[in-house]
Structure 1
Amino acid sequence: MTHNPAIPKHAHRDAIVIGAGQAGGPLAGSLVKSGRHVTLIEKVHIGGTCVNEGCTPTKTMIASARVAHLARHAGEYGVTTSAVTVDFQRVQARKDTVVESFRSGSATGLQRAGVEVIMGHARFSGPHSVTVTDEDGSLHELEAPLVFINTGTRPRWPDIPGLRDAGALDSTGLLKVDQKPEHLLILGGGYIGLEFGQAFARFGSRVTIVEQAERLAMKEDPDVVAALTAALREDGVEFLFGQKAVRAGGSPVGAELTIAGPQGEQVLAGTHLLVAAGRTANTDGLNLEAAGVKVDHHGNIVVDEHLRTNVEGIYALGDVKGGPAFTHIAYDDYRIVRDALLHGRFRSTQDRPVPYTVFTDPQLARIGLNETQARAQGLRAQVYTLPMSHVARAIETNETRGLMKALVDEETDQIIGATVLGVEGGEVLSVLQMAMMGGVRASALRDGVFAHPTLSESLNNLFMSTPVSVGREVVSG
């Protein structure tokens, strides 16, 4: 989407939206539909992180990696294949085609909605005034009583000497490599590192993940983490736990990373080095000081439960405000603001569920409390656990890695949390989430009639298993 020369240099609008992510784009369209004159400002590309550097490209590549994995294991299904090779350029081309389709679809949607779009860099010049430098260097001064910030986040680079000089890549950079890495070093064992690590291991790369903590996914139950770690190791991912990155540098092979742990320092050499050490809010270029908008010590915009900043008429939506960094949360932020401004319906961010799925294989899906949290809070609950090796559909498809767990209130029989580590774990979790949303008791799922043989049918067996009681004793986390 190109610069519109019809946009004047000085203009007053009913609303300004900064950032065309999964909250900003839909909100701009809804505001225009309500009769408001809206300008949407986007610095890089329509669709935000999800479409361009996050969900869409990574899950597309993960799908290709899964096909390679299944092809290598075809013999387990009685199917004979020739040697499996990966055409990495075709994998990348397929990913790029899907991304472009989604991005162009978002841009077309904005155009059809009548949203005025400026591709450029926005900076506040006052509480309700924004200066935009567009693609050809022209300046626009815009004013509006309502301003919505949806600028998202970018990969965070830790302060490690030599990291950039080593030619390290962040997640965005790794998506653009032309050749499959021979040995991919990954700094950080978070969910981004795990998804990339397993995918590239399945493409045929050697993968080493360096994690400072003693295990993966510290917020998840230990038994879930143990099963996930075992699955990734089975797929060829190597883990180095309890290791801190000290410095980095280039090498004849590609990159070197010096790490330090209980056994002292060691030097790792790889062809590629991925930095997967979290993300940081895109607030530093907005000149928020001119608007008086507060940020926290991480640079996240501070908002209340209705997504309002400390400045009247200025809102922040999506990852830029901190909190759960998921596309579905950003989209729900849009719905909260839309309903409050256009429909007189007020809903808080504090009363919504926050489901998530990590697209490793098996998928790790979670909503609500887990066993560790319940014990720490001293809740009286029942924990139901079922290995995927006891699920008929999983056995039939040879996808038995993982387990599912559900936490049930002892008095009400209501589900208060669930974790599914298994094939299509996100889909199975959605069934449990629907039960939670509808107040359906665990006993109803135990006795429900589900189609056989489906993964969701395993919920019968999950709630027929012998539960473990979580008493009121408080156990540190």
Structure 2
Amino acid sequence: MKSIHSSYDALIIGFGKGGKTLAAYLANQGWTVALVEQSPLMYGGTCINIACIPTKFLIHNAEMGVPYPESIGEKDQLIAALRQRNFNLVDQSPNATVITGKAAFVSPHQVSVRLADTAEEIRIEAERIFINTGASPLIPAIPGIGQSQRVFTSTTLIQETQLPNELVIIGGGYIALEFAGMYAQYGATVTILDRSTRFLPHEDRDMADAVRSVLLAQGIRIEQGASVDEIIPGHTGQDTVVYHTPEKEQQQIQASAILVATGRQPYTEGLNLSAAGVEQDAKGYIKVNELLQTNVPHIWAMGDVNGGPQFTYISLDDFRIIRSQFSNLDRHTLLDRGQVAFSLFISPPFSHVGLREHEAQTKGYRTQVATLPAASITRAQVLKETAGLLKCVVDADTNQILGCTLFCANSSELINLVQLAMRARFAYTVLRDTIYTHPSMSEGLNDLFGKLK
């Protein structure tokens, strides 16, 4: 174990994607760097340990028919290996030290750390400090939720080694749908209780309806406008979830596991930001400027804790923004980010970038819109994955692509191609007329954009 010094050039609090990448980069530039992470089970950050990687691994295994207990075991082995690799990425540098403990500001330049193994409290001073503490699940104030032994978050449910027979999911957002699809494929009976009266309310209705119909076909029950009133702990392997419908009718459903997927909140618990004078917004996110600086110029915030889109690749771009301030590279800021794609890993995956049709119309664009059933793509037929719908929205005056939504096999890869075309400001005709390999899902872009005039 490396010795811990009292002073460093840079202190990074949190082992997320942005933080670990920054730690390795600065150490390679000759800076002395301390990276503080409160748990040895979180080396590498949220994505590797409890989010993107384990969930996508479990989803893939579900699609391959691997039994749930076996999948959990394989997932644990994979995550342990990735965790060690990420620890080594930072700690093997002679200029970087990983400190496992809970950090709290004492002053703008000084942080106390309660070490995880000894509970000893040490103090570290740094010229520059970078906060990368992420976000955590938001637990709603539902009567009985604290007394139940069967309530889980997205973090804790994937640690269970036995498949729940009846899974009730409170929430109807992207995390809720991803878990619903995954557990249904493993064989659980899944019910979604969504407070919103509209399924995927931010999406265009044709795309939302396409997703809903596929989930229903997979046996997932979806209750819209369902407000949970109470969770009644049971003693026979099940809890009772009491909810009411938009018509105020009270309903009950039995659950062997309850997943709370009602949003996330910035994780700043115990950080004592006030001692550093760092400002937060009304929701608790750390305020930053376009360079990711807080109101205290030598303190930056990166990743989920700064209120930006909560994706690992955004945290990596946050690293790029900060790196450009300490290198000879061109200055990169939040103003450069532009449209960012995302993918929801249900089956098939749902991916989007840019404006949706209703958003483009609200902004006053004159649009051309085209849709294409996934079943019309030859590769989808070969893969026997014909469910889904593709959609594009184009500026009728400039031929620029305003947005694209792909609900089809391999959409998580295809959407990056569309995003690249948008960033390069290509006319939609470039995607329409490009020669793609055959048979491939990319060929669907020929047909989709070919439907425009």
TM-score norm. by structure 1 comes to 0.91
Distance in 2 of aligned mates of 1:343 and 1:254 = 60
Conservation of the 8 A alpha-carbon contact between 1:408 and 1:415? yes
Quick check: 1:23 aligned with 2:18? yes
How do 1:28-427 residues align onto structure 2 when only pairs under 5 Å count?
Answer: 28-44=23-39, 45-68=42-65, 87-114=67-94, 115-135=96-116, 136-167=118-149, 168-251=151-234, 252-261=236-245, 262-343=247-328, 345-352=330-337, 353-427=339-413
Conservation of the 8 A alpha-carbon contact between 1:355 and 1:366? yes
Distance in 1 of aligned mates of 2:315 and 2:430 = 32
Task: Give SS of 1:230's match.
Answer: helix
Letter in 2 for 1:281: P
1:344 CA drift (Å): 5.2
Moved segments of 4+, more than 4 Å: none
Distance in 1 of aligned mates of 2:327 and 2:239 = 53
CA deviation digits over 1:115-162, x for unaligned, max 9? 211000000001111000112112211111210000001111001111
Q: Which stretch shifts more, 345-354 or 119-128?
A: 345-354
1:443 CA drift (Å): 1.4
Task: Give SS of 1:23's match.
Answer: helix
Distance in 1 of aligned mates of 2:388 and 2:93 = 45
Task: Give SS of 2:279's match.
Answer: coil
Letter in 2 for 1:159: A
Conservation of the 8 A alpha-carbon contact between 2:58 and 2:71? yes
CA deviation digits over 1:49-87, x for unaligned, max 9? 10010001100100011112xxxxxxxxxxxxxxxxx63
CA deviation digits over 1:344-384, x for unaligned, max 9? 53222133131110101111111111101001111122112
1:323 CA drift (Å): 2.2
Conservation of the 8 A alpha-carbon contact between 2:340 and 2:419? no
Distance in 1 of aligned mates of 2:35 and 2:229 = 42
1:436 CA drift (Å): 1.4
Conservation of the 8 A alpha-carbon contact between 1:166 and 1:256? no
1:393 CA drift (Å): 1.1
1:88 CA drift (Å): 2.3
Unpaired runs of at least 5, structure 1: 69-85, 468-477
1:459 CA drift (Å): 1.0
Conservation of the 8 A alpha-carbon contact between 1:284 and 1:299? no
Distance in 2 of aligned mates of 1:350 and 1:90 = 45
Conservation of the 8 A alpha-carbon contact between 2:12 and 2:131? yes
Task: Give SS of 1:93's match.
Answer: helix
RMSD: 1.3
1:294 CA drift (Å): 0.6
Task: Give SS of 2:129's match.
Answer: strand
Task: Report the CA distance shift for 1:119/1:176 in structure 2 as closer, same or farther (over 3 A).
Answer: same
Letter in 1 for 2:355: L
Letter in 1 for 2:414: V
Conservation of the 8 A alpha-carbon contact between 2:177 and 2:346? yes
Task: Give SS of 1:239's match.
Answer: strand
Distance in 2 of aligned mates of 1:106 and 1:17 = 15
Match of 1:428 in 2: 414
1:112 CA drift (Å): 2.5
1:213 CA drift (Å): 0.5
1:466 CA drift (Å): 4.3
TM-score norm. by structure 2 comes to 0.96
Task: Indicate the percent of aligned positions where both proteins have the same amino acid.
Answer: 37
Match of 1:463 in 2: 449
Q: How many residue pairs get matched?
A: 445
Distance in 1 of aligned mates of 2:173 and 2:139 = 14
Distance in 2 of aligned mates of 1:65 and 1:320 = 31
Conservation of the 8 A alpha-carbon contact between 2:399 and 2:428? yes
Distance in 2 of aligned mates of 1:275 and 1:193 = 8
1:397 CA drift (Å): 1.9
Distance in 2 of aligned mates of 1:347 and 1:277 = 33
Letter in 2 for 1:371: E
Letter in 2 for 1:423: A
Conservation of the 8 A alpha-carbon contact between 2:404 and 2:418? yes
Q: Which stretch shifts more, 188-197 or 388-397?
A: 388-397
CA deviation digits over 1:73-112, x for unaligned, max 9? xxxxxxxxxxxxx632211001111111211110111123
1:292 CA drift (Å): 0.6
Distance in 2 of aligned mates of 1:134 and 1:221 = 49
Conservation of the 8 A alpha-carbon contact between 2:320 and 2:332? no
**Which one of 412, 423, 432 corresponds to residue 446 of structure 1?**
432
CA deviation digits over 1:170-218, x for unaligned, max 9? 1111011121101001001111111111111111110001000123222
Letter in 1 for 2:300: Y
Task: Give SS of 2:152's match.
Answer: coil
Letter in 1 for 2:72: Q
1:307 CA drift (Å): 0.5
Task: Give SS of 2:167's match.
Answer: strand
Q: Which stretch shifts more, 442-451 or 270-279?
A: 442-451
